[in-house]
């Protein structure tokens, strides 16, 4: 196996193990893919993450042809997302508890908290249900991810996107945390929702600051500056 592919396969496995240890995924559920050459690499079907080796990671092209083990049953939405989104290189799918609980109620996550904007819009949409592994599900997911970096899937789980494996994993953990907050909020009652105008400002602010790093907010009179030696 060439060094570039070996390194990416090892990083995929490392991220899968982090998905499990962080609690956002369990057992053999969920799957992970990363763009590679004229196609992508994806986790195999029904193999526990702690048993995976680099040779088990499946290479696929845009026509659905693959080398090695049978790919994850969800390869269609991985392929279609990567093929249609030049802005991302990684697709992470998991069945985290709180996000999946919301998805089982076919609910979007509204702007009850500004951090919802981390997924790229004023809400985190929930894709319509379709049988797992089908083209219908892939089509539903593509719609839910329009202008977004994450979505829920009705009666199923969630998907997060990223430029890197690290980005996608970070977002998966954030969406699960947001989901947990929303579930607790709903136990109290319906909460106020931030306006579209405010969420637009939040999203622009997140882009400028790379979510916690970078320049101060526009219009700020009190600017943080590096101290000179």
Residues marked active site are found at 74
Beta carbons of 96 and 23 less than 8 angstroms apart? yes
Burial string for 93-129 (b: 16+ CB within 10 Å, else e) reads: bbbbebbbbbbeeebbbbbbbebbbbbbbbbbbbbbb
DSSP 55: G
Q: Write the DSSP string, 108-146.
A: -B-SSSGGGGGGSSSSB-EEPP--TTSHHHHHHHHHHTT
Query: Rg of the chain's alpha carbons, rounded to an integer?
Result: 18
Using DSSP, how many helices (H) and how many strands (E) does the chain show?
Answer: 6, 8
Say which residue the tokens 């240890």 belong to: 21
């Amino acid at each position: 196996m060439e060094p570039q592919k070996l390194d990416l396969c090892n990083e995929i496995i490392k991220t899968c193990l982090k998905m499990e240890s962080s609690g956002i995924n369990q057992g053999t559920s969920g799957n992970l893919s990363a763009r590679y050459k004229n196609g992508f690499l994806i986790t195999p079907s029904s193999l526990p993450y702690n048993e995976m080796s680099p040779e088990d990671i499946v290479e696929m092209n845009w026509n659905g042809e693959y080398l090695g083990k049978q790919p994850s049953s969800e390869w269609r939405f991985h392929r279609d997302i990567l093929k249609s989104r030049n802005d991302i290189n990684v697709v992470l799918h998991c069945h985290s508890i709180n996000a999946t609980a919301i998805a089982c109620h076919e609910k979007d996550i509204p702007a009850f908290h500004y951090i919802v904007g981390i997924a790229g819009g004023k809400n985190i949409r929930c894709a319509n249900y379709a049988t797992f592994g089908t083209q219908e599900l892939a089509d539903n997911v593509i719609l839910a991810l329009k202008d977004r970096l994450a979505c829920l899937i009705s009666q199923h789980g969630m998907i997060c996107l990223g430029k890197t494996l690290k980005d996608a994993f970070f977002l998966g953990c954030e969406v699960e945390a947001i989901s947990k907050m929303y579930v607790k909020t709903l136990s109290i009652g319906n909460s106020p929702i931030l306006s579209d105008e405010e969420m637009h400002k939040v999203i622009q602010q997140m882009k400028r600051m790379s979510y916690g790093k970078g320049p101060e907010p526009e219009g700020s009179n009190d600017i943080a500056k590096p101290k000179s030696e």
